[in-house]
Amino acid sequence: MARMESIYKREENGCIVLVMLEDIPPADMPLELLDWIQAHSYIRYTENPDGERLFWDTFATAVQTL
């Protein structure tokens, strides 16, 4: 729904933040969602302390560039 809204408004700096609370096998994802994930950049959250810090640093950088 958010993706369609951004298309209709034609905003160049639109942003969609997709939060997946668990790993979902690609075979179980709707095709449109899988296509979107493959076509856009994303970062994966981890509970590993080093990975978690990298996640939040990368997320903060991405949000600041909007």
Give the model's pLDDT for residue 34. Answer: 86
Res 11: pLDDT:
58
| pLDDT of 1 over the 80 cut | no
What is the per-residue pLDDT for 36?
80
Q: What is the pLDDT of residues 6-37, one digit of tens each?
A: 666 655 666 677 777 788 898 998 888 888 88
Q: What is the 3-state secondary structure (H, E, C) of 24-52?
A: CCHHHCCHHHHHHHHHCCCCCCCCCHHHH
The reported pTM is 0.54
**pLDDT in the model for residue 27:** 92
Residue type, 42: Y
